[in-house]
Structures are given as structure tokens and as C-alpha cells.
Amino acid sequence: IKEKGKNNYKFYNQSMTEDAYKSYSLERDLRKAVDRNEFEMYYQAKINAKTNGLVGAEALIRWNHPNGNRIFPGDFIPLAEENGMIFAITIWTFRAACEQLKRWEKGGLTTVPISVNISPEIFDRQDWVETLLQIMDETNVDPGLLELEITEGVLIQNDETFITSIETLKQSGIKISIDDFGTGYSSLLYLKKFKVDTIKIDQSFTRELLNNDVSLILKAIIRLAHELDMTVIAEGVETAEQATYLRQNECDQIQGYLISKPIPVGEFVQLLENPVIQ
Ligand code: C2E
Ligand code: CA
Ligand code: CA
Ligand code: CA
């Protein structure tokens, strides 16, 4: 950069400072956000591909920044994963999901399972499983109503401790889903080893569904997953053509803007009250 001349160098330097300042203040604000209760869970419907009945909800975090902006997870989860804040945030989201399930139950609503996104960074903490089990215990929630969405990359590490962790969680009754399936390196063999309940076909596949090569791979994945007794859900479904295609090819569940965007819990309750989505 220096070679490009004095002016360029100066400009570069200045914007670096601005970027550094921005990320510093974001990090500073993020550290306060948990204590100040600035996070909010949005819920996105998952439906049965055949009946259109509501079968679950994915909890997706939003940060209501005190400056009035709603910040999407893509703009702060990576930072939290880097600076270790992800553990506190995950505890918050998991507890929020448990408490939400209890509130629905107490309000006499039909509840549907909630899935919570889990960043692999929390596996570095030895007490992560224990912490989740403890939260389920404290909130007295049915573990069968909770699902962890974990991206497939961690599966191939084939780490003994991790395998034991997943087994312990599964014994409690909690479900495991492999998120963004198809973007990493997992094989169905690993899925079998971990006895995951669900695989979630990544949006990039859904988008390319009507392309012959993708369609061929997708059909094979669905067939194999079913042979291993797994549920298959496709995410990022935006068009009726995609939904029809998935239904015809035995995909079990679908999720995406075509059905519903992620919405605040108050709106999601209306879906619980009227669980067949037209
Ligand atoms: P993800 O788990 O793959 O979640 C799906 C993302 O796609 C969500 O974005 C969702 O709003 C969006 N989406 C859903 N349907 C459609 C569709 O039909 N079309 C398109 N184009 N997009 C759709 P969101 O909420 O911004 O979350 C982004 C990512 O941030 C998530 O990807 C997940 O990796 C992470 N994330 C979200 N909430 C949490 C959380 O509570 N904890 C952790 N650790 N990560 C989270
Ligand atoms: Ca997810
Ligand atoms: Ca995903
Ligand atoms: Ca993702």
C-alpha cells in the first residue's frame, strides 16, 4: 500500500481507524447487551410439506440496539464467536426458548418444538452440556420440545468428548439438527454416528433446486436420510415451485419466506392458534 503513494496510504490509515473504532464500540455495546436485555427472539415457522401444518419454530436472535437499530445476527454473532461472548448469548437464547415453551404451555396453547442455533465456539467450554441441561431443569421444560441446530462442520472432527456430549444431550430427549447441510464436508456416515434427528438442507440448494444436478443430489440425500430415519427440512423456500418440488420429492418439512418470515413472538402466537398455513 505504501508503494501506491503518500495520499493513498494516508486514506487507508484513516479508514482503518474508523473501522477499528466502529468494531470497538460494537464490541463494547455487545458486552452490555445481555445484561441490559437488549436481545429478542424472532420465530420462523417450519411446516409439514404435505399437510402445511405447523411443526416447529426456529428461534433467530435480533439485537434491539439502544440507538434504535435492529441488528441482525450476521452483524454481531461472528464478533461474539470471536470474543467469547457467544457463550453468554447462547445461554440467553436457550433459556428464552425454554421459557417461551413454558409460557405457551401455561397459556393453554398448542406448543411446537423450538430449535435454537448453536455456534460451535461454545463447545470449547467444558460445561456447555451441563449448562443446557441445568437450564432445562430449572425451567422444567420438556426436552423433547427443544432442538439444537448445529452446522455440519463440527461433525467431522470426530472428537470423543464431543461425541459424548451429543450422546448425553440426546439421552435427555433433546433433538439435534444439522444446519446448512450440504455446505460443509459431512457425510451421511457421520450423521449416522451422531444419530442426528434432522438434516436441514441449506438455502443455497433450495435456490438451485430446479437445476438438474442439484435436484439429483437432493433426491439422493432425502432417500438416504430417510433410510437412516432422519427428518429432512429445506430452508430458504421462497417460491411455490420450490415447495411443490420438495413435496413431490418427499422432503418432510419446509421453512422459508414463502411460508413465513421470522416474526416476533406475539405474531407467532397467531400461527400457533391457527396452525395450518395457507
Ligand atoms: P441460519 O441458522 O442458517 O438461519 C437462516 C437464515 O435465513 C435466517 O437469517 C433467516 O431469517 C433467513 N431466512 C429464512 N427464510 C429465508 C428465505 O426464504 N430466504 C432467505 N433469503 N433467507 C431466509 P438470520 O435470522 O439473519 O440469521 C442468520 C444466521 O445467524 C443464522 O443462519 C444463524 O447461523 C445465525 N443465528 C441466528 N440466530 C442465532 C442465535 O440465536 N444464535 C446463534 N449462535 N446464531 C444465530
Ligand atoms: Ca439455523
Ligand atoms: Ca441454515
Ligand atoms: Ca447459516
Q: What is the number of the ligand closest to the CA of 77?
A: 1
Identify the pLDDT of residue 15: 60
Residue 261 and residue 228 in contact, taking contact as beta carbons nearer than 8 Å: no
What does the pLDDT read at residue 8? Answer: 44
Distance 261 CA to ligand 3 centre (A): 14
Residue owning the nearest CA to atom 45 of ligand 1: 117
Residues with CB under 5 A from ligand 2 (ion): 117, 149, 179
Interface confidence (ipTM) of the complex: 0.97
Sorted by sequence, the CB contacts under 8 Å of residue 247 that are 6+ apart come out as: 49, 50, 254
Q: What is the dihedral of CA 183, 189, 193, 197, to 10 degrees?
A: 60
| pLDDT attached to residue 6 | 43
pLDDT digits (tens, 9 = 90+) for 102-118: 999 999 998 999 999 99
Q: What is the distance in A from the centroid of ligand 4 to the CA of 88? A: 20
129, 163 Cβ separation under 8 angstroms: no
58 alpha carbon to ligand 2 midpoint, in Å?
A: 7
Q: What is the DSSP letter of 195?
A: T
pTM of the model: 0.91
Q: How far is the CA of 181 from the centre of ligand 4 (A)?
A: 9
Residue to mutate, 40, 60, 91, ligand 1, most ligand atoms under 8 Å from C-beta: 60
Residues in the chain, total? 278
pLDDT for 212 equals 86
The ranges of the chain with pLDDT < 70 are 1-18, 20-21, 156, 184-188, 277-278
Ligand nearest to the CA of 255: 1
Choice from 40, 72, 117, 132 to test ligand 1 binding pocket (greatest atom count within 8 A of CB)? 117
Query: What number does the ligand 1 atom closest to the CA of 237 have?
Result: 18
Measured between alpha carbons, how far is 26 from 41 in angstroms, rounded to an integer?
20
Closest ligand 1 atom, residue 86 Cα? 44
pLDDT recorded at residue 163: 86
The dihedral through the CA atoms of 156, 157, 160, 161 has a sign that is negative
Strand ranges inside the chain, DSSP E: 39-48, 54-64, 70-71, 114-118, 146-151, 175-181, 198-201, 231-234, 253-254, 263-264
Which residues have C-beta atoms less than 6 Å from ligand 1?
A: 44, 60-61, 72-74, 77, 90, 93, 117, 119, 149, 179-180, 203, 235-238, 256-257, 262
Give the integer Cα–Cα distance in Å for 55 and 251: 14
* pLDDT recorded at residue 67: 92
